[in-house]
Copies of this chain bind each other. A is one copy, B any other.
């Protein structure tokens, strides 16, 4: 199925569905309709059905979906049936926030290393992790079979950090630095630009104010 092109928006929604299904499952609910998933997640029923259809038929007409099966399936699709080891490069405020962010651990992400090249940060403790120098990245990546790296370094350092991560064997990078990274084709990169989210809000506020 490698050739199957699944829109990124669908994957994002699958992530939302799986969280909703987890909550529903915990409440002991056994079956659920696409309409109920839609209502619980704020997605239209037609979109829910379309998204789930990408991954084959697994609802029963008139009965709906088995919650546990559907949850297991969405987690499998998202690659979340295994745990993932992650390194964070950049131990400033944002890096520190991510290391202590409980949401990652809950979803199967274990931060196994946090790095900086600032001598005033190296040796500092973030939860149970000691901030290490960036020269330690290759060792930690190899030791923990790390496939994912998060860059919270400044924009000026981000490309260097990406190079070290890629050379160490990291295959996927989540980049918070406001810069475009050049990486080989086999490495997946996603950028989080915090301003963009605010700009979606100003767009809506602007529409109301001046009737754009």
Contact = CB atoms under 8 A, between A and B. Distances in A.
A148 interface: yes
Given A1-B212, A97-B93, A201-B148, A15 B196 contact: yes
Interface in A146-180: 147-148, 150, 171-174, 178, 180
Interface string A194-207: 11111111111111
B211 A77 contact: no
Interface residues of A, number: 63
A26 interface: no
A212 B2 CA distance: 6
B194 A101 contact: yes
21 contacts: A2-B208, A2-B211, A6-B203, A11-B200, A14-B203, A15-B193, A15-B200, A77-B203, A78-B202, A79-B206, A80-B202, A92-B97, A93-B96, A94-B94, A104-B194, A106-B195, A108-B202, A147-B205, A148-B202, A173-B201, A192-B192
